Chain A
Amino acid sequence: MIVATLDAQTLVDAVGLGAIYALMAVGIGLVFGVLRLVNFAYGQLVMAGAYTLAFTADWPAVASIAACFAVVITLSLVLERSVFRPLRTQSPAVMLVTTFAVAFLLQSVALVIDVRDGTIGEPAGSIGGLNRAVSVLGVDVRRVTIVAVVVAVIALGLLALLLARTTIGLHMRAAATDFRTARLLGVRADRVIGFAVVLSGVLAAIVAVILTVQSPLVAPDFALKETIVVLVGVVVGGIDRLWTATLGGFAIGFTSGVINGVLPTDKTVFLPSAVFALVILVLLLRPAGLFGRAPAAERV
């Protein structure tokens, strides 16, 4: 019985997964908003952060995390400056294919670096203590799940404040709504895009820290599966607006967590089939996205 197995433990884990996916969705949605670029290479930014945590595993945790942020943000800016900015006037198809190429390039570079010791995969354990569980109202909750939810709430709250209350936030929202008109008003394209890329990188670094606690073995395909699922979630939610993309990311993470929890252990192999069948159904019923809307009529 499905209902019988949908317990509090499953729901808590599902919320934790939804929180991580929501952070990734915001990172992808921020860049899409200003560049109209679906960044398939987002997972490789997370992977780069995870490798940094692995290679600095013997450093103090704070220094290791700081290095992770520095590497991911720098890599984000380098990609923006060297690849995405020169191509930003090209068609979405060209930009998407470019992000595929960047993703596989970064994955290949990671592989070359990783196999130097003769094995694939590096352990990252700088804040492994977060894997221990605490009991909350009789439910065992891993500390990293609590951290994921709290960090997601704080990060998304701060981002919402930044977008709503600051000038750069206003410019980012304008650029995401109508970039051409925003530029005609004097909004500086390079500044807005650079800022969105940095924020997106910060979120990727946060995700790298949380994911390496959950899955400490870092390999070149680290976060790849999650990125694909989140990209699907972003489209299902509605990629045109940041909050719908975020909800889409959360929804697909939460749904995956719930389905994973209710499926018998020997049936979890059916999880991707169940999730993606649901995705197709949603897109057939609501092609503009689960939370999408029709454009407003012109006023006279």
Chain B
Amino acid sequence: MSEPLLELDRVELRYGPVPAVRDLSFAVGKGEIVGLIGPNGAGKSTTLHGVMAVLPLHAGTIRFDGASLRGFPPERVASAGIALVPEGRRIFGGFTVDENLRLGLAARRQGDAAGAIREVFELFPILEEYRERPAGALSGGQQQQLAIGRALVAAPRLLLLDEPSLGLAPTVVDAVFAALAAIRERGLTVLLVEQRAHRTVAFADRTYVLANGELRATLTPADAENTEKLLSAYLR
């Protein structure tokens, strides 16, 4: 693994008194794509919420580029260089595509904002065509492209993706993974939460398996063909 960019060390996250993630430790190296898979309720999205400080850290440490994120509000985590593409996309449907992208600039510290939006249009040309349309009028796949583009304009060093293929038609899922491949080419570090286990294991440099809020296994692309067998063994 390359030098770690994100490190979780014995992290515990709770919803009220109920622990959702326990004693979770893993790292994401610079330039890596790391997957996080597991059944519903395993704690995958909760882990991302913990990193983004939407959920307070109950115990443990989360470090980004060596510095603790403890006590940061979500907007400061975003400004530090972590962007989240949330589950369900959560685009602003009543705003135009252009306005949604400009919102993504809020976390950008400096640099060429117009250039960042141009780069997103190169990756997702349909967004440029529809830039003045209300985002709510886009198809589900186009909205997912917008959610990813909105995260990219912030020029993050780490991109968190929470089930980007959820609720999309199979052909659209292919397009989303093609976009992720293009993002990988740019050398961006990615932590990908997905339900599509086989596809994630094959795509990511390394995939962590979560169940009941705990880390159960680490898989590599070599395990892709046997993903289902391995999962049933680990999650038994």
Q: Which residues of A contact B (CB under 8 A)?
A: 167, 170-171, 173-174, 177-178, 180-189, 296, 298-300
Contact = CB atoms under 8 A, between A and B. Distances in A.
B150 interface: yes
9 contacts: A170-B102, A182-B106, A184-B78, A185-B103, A185-B107, A185-B150, A186-B78, A187-B106, A298-B140
B96 to A, nearest CB: 10
A181 B95 contact: no
B23 interface: no
Contact of A167 (B75, B86, B95, B102): B102
Contacts of B54: 180, 184
Contacts of A183: 73-75, 78
A186 B93 contact: no
Interface string B120-137: 000000000000000010
B139 A177 contact: no
Interface residues of B, number: 32
Nearest to B77: A184
Contacts of B138: 299
A44 B102 CA distance: 37
B19 to A, nearest CB: 21
Interface of B: 52, 54, 73-75, 78-79, 84, 86, 88, 90, 92-95, 99, 102-104, 106-108, 136, 138-140, 143, 150, 154, 167-169
A299 B143 contact: yes
Contacts of A186: 75, 78-79, 104, 106-108, 154
| Top-9 shortest CB links A-B | A186-B107, A186-B106, A186-B78, A300-B140, A183-B74, A181-B90, A299-B140, A187-B106, A183-B75
A184 B103 contact: no
A187 B99 CA distance: 13
A187 B168 contact: no
Nearest to A191: B75
B143 A185 contact: no
A185 B93 CA distance: 15
Contacts of B167: 298, 300
B120 to A, nearest CB: 14
Contacts of B84: 184
Given A296-B93, A300-B140, A189 B99 contact: no
Contact of A181 (B86, B99, B140): B86
Contacts of B154: 185-186
Given A174-B95, A300-B169, A185 B78 contact: yes
Q: Most chain-B CB neighbours within 10 Å: which of A178, A184, A188, A300?
A: A184
A186 B102 CA distance: 11
Contacts of A296: 93, 136
Nearest to B140: A300
A171 B105 CA distance: 11
Contacts of A189: 73, 75
A298 B90 CA distance: 10
B77 to A, nearest CB: 8
A186 B154 CA distance: 9
Contacts of B143: 299
A170 to B, nearest CB: 6
Contact of B103 (A174, A180, A188, A298): A174
Contact of B92 (A174, A298, A299): A174
Nearest to A182: B103
Contacts of B168: 300
Nearest to B109: A186
A170 B108 CA distance: 15
A144 to B, nearest CB: 37
A182 B104 CA distance: 9
A263 to B, nearest CB: 40
A178 B79 contact: no
Given A186-B154, A300-B169, A173 B95 contact: yes
A299 B136 contact: yes
B103 A170 contact: yes
Given A170-B99, A299-B143, 19 more contacts: A170-B95, A171-B103, A180-B74, A181-B92, A183-B78, A184-B78, A184-B84, A184-B86, A185-B106, A185-B107, A186-B79, A186-B108, A187-B75, A188-B75, A188-B106, A189-B75, A298-B140, A298-B167, A300-B168
A187 B74 CA distance: 9
B52 A184 contact: yes
B116 to A, nearest CB: 13
B51 to A, nearest CB: 11
Nearest to B136: A296
B92 A178 contact: yes
Q: Most chain-B CB neighbours within 10 Å: which of A167, A181, A186, A296?
A: A186
